Structures are given as C-alpha cells and as structure tokens.
Amino acid sequence: MKLFVGLGNPGAKYAGNRHNIGFMALDRIAEDHGFGPWRRGYQGKVSEGRLGAEKVVLLKPETFMNLSGQSVRAAVDFYKFTLADITVFHDELDLAPGKCRVKQGGGHAGHNGLRSIHAHLGEAYGRVRLGIGHPGHKDAVANYVLNDFAKSEQAWLDDLLRGISDGAEALAAGDAARFQNAVALRTNPPRPSSGTQKPESAAKPKAEKTTAPAATEPPADLSLLAKLKDFFR
C-alpha cells in the first residue's frame, strides 16, 4: 500500500493557487483512475483506490500548509506506512513552470509544507516536485504562490496534470523513470520527423509527370506488308 500526499491549503479561496498544485495533482489522479469519494479523515480529505497492482491512499491535509505534517503523521500512524511508502506532491519554485522531478529524501528547501512533514516524520520520503517558476525576488514569493495560476498558464498546467495521471501507476510501482517519461510525453511531446524526404503531397506532381512514349516497332502485320511492297517494286 502506498500513500500519495498532495500539499495545499483548504477552502475555495485557495483552490486555484499555485501553492495548491499538489491538491490538483491528486484530484486528477482520483478522477481519472476511479478512486472512491473523498471523505474526511486524518485531519484532511482521503480517497482510496488502486493504481495497477498497488492499493493507494490519497491524502490532502486540511491543516493549512504550515501544519501539513500533523495530517500526514496521523495517516501514517493509522495505516502503518513506512517513509518509503510515502510520496508528496508539492509546488517547486526552483523548477520552470510545467517541469516535474521525482526525488527521494533530502532537505525541504524552505517549503513550509515539507518543513512540517520533516518535523513529524524525518526526510526520507519521496517527493514529486512540480515546477511553478519563481517570481524573481524572494520578497515576492508569498504573494506569488498564494495567487491563482494565470489564464496563460492553463495549457501547460493541464498537460502537466494529465501527465501525472498517465504515469501514476508507474509511480505507485516505484518506477520513477517511467513516471517521468509519461509526464514528458504530455509536456514535451515528440516533434514530427524533420528528415529530407518530401511529404507525399509535394512529391505528387513528380509522380504524375508524363513523358513521351518510347519508340516501338510497328506491328508485325504492317512490317510484312511493307516488305512485300519492296519485293514487287
């Protein structure tokens, strides 16, 4: 069994915030993979379902970001998860918008939700870092993360969330490379081949080009008639 935790702040006021991209990721997984209805539990909202062979618990803490660790700890204590069973989805200022990276363990880099989880559980859990970009100055960070994604960002945001859902089964199975490949196929789809071969439409005029018919010998009966005429001259 695995625990996927999405970080964010509860309530409609924060629903579209950049800081809530972790909630958004879990909502997309739950919807696309037929998870059960969200219910209250462990100081948050919980939904259960399966991703491939793995049973997965989705948790969205409702303790507000700075106290996320309380909710995660409550779920861990109930289900007896190990830190290796936990993956936390969170916004990442140090990644460009739409980028996604999987990480196991390490510091919290000043993220208040991760800081709280560290305090309750330690640092050896998995993370899915979801790039939202940086506003350019540290004094602007709080306002930036607590504002909604702009309309101009909706396209890459939707691609990212779709990619996360596509790769969720691989992530639950512990295959981070296959998960990130699934995300990349949505956010950076392969471009059409740029080889030198002309497209069929361009080659068509050449295929239709006609040439003068090659010279052919006259039919046999006409040749014989001509020879008889020469003989009796």
The answer to whether 120 and 69 are in contact (CB under 8 A) is yes
C-alpha of 138 from chain center: 28
Query: Can you give the pLDDT at residue 192?
Result: 74
Tokens of 39: 């219910």
Verdict on whether the full-model pTM lies above 0.85? no
Secondary structure (3-state) at 145: helix
Residue 142 reports pLDDT greater than 90 = yes
The answer to whether 72 and 118 are in contact (CB under 8 A) is no
Could you tell me whether strands 54-61 and 2-6 are parallel, antiparallel, or unpaired per DSSP bridges? parallel
Mean pLDDT, the chain, integer: 89
* pLDDT tens per residue across span 41-86: 999 999 999 999 999 999 999 999 999 999 999 999 999 999 999 9
Query: Can you give the pLDDT at residue 202?
Result: 45
Q: In sequence order, which residues have a C-beta less than 8 Å from that of residue 155 and are 6 or more positions away?
A: none
Residue 127 reports pLDDT greater than 60 = yes
- Which residues participate in catalysis according to the annotation? 19
Q: How far apart are CA 135 and CA 42, in angstroms?
A: 34
Q: Residue 61's closest CA among 82, 77, 40?
A: 40
Secondary structure (3-state) at 130: strand
DSSP class of 58: E
Strand partners, 126: 87, 104
Strand partners, 60: 45
DSSP class of 105: S
Fold of the 2-187 domain: Rossmann fold (3.40.50)
* pLDDT tens per residue across span 156-186: 999 999 999 999 999 999 999 999 999 999 9
Q: Residue 97's closest CA among 156, 57, 180, 38?
A: 156
Q: How far apart are CA 87 and CA 171, in angstroms?
A: 9
Q: Residue 17's closest CA among 32, 26, 7, 5?
A: 7
Q: How far apart are CA 205 and CA 212, in angstroms?
A: 17
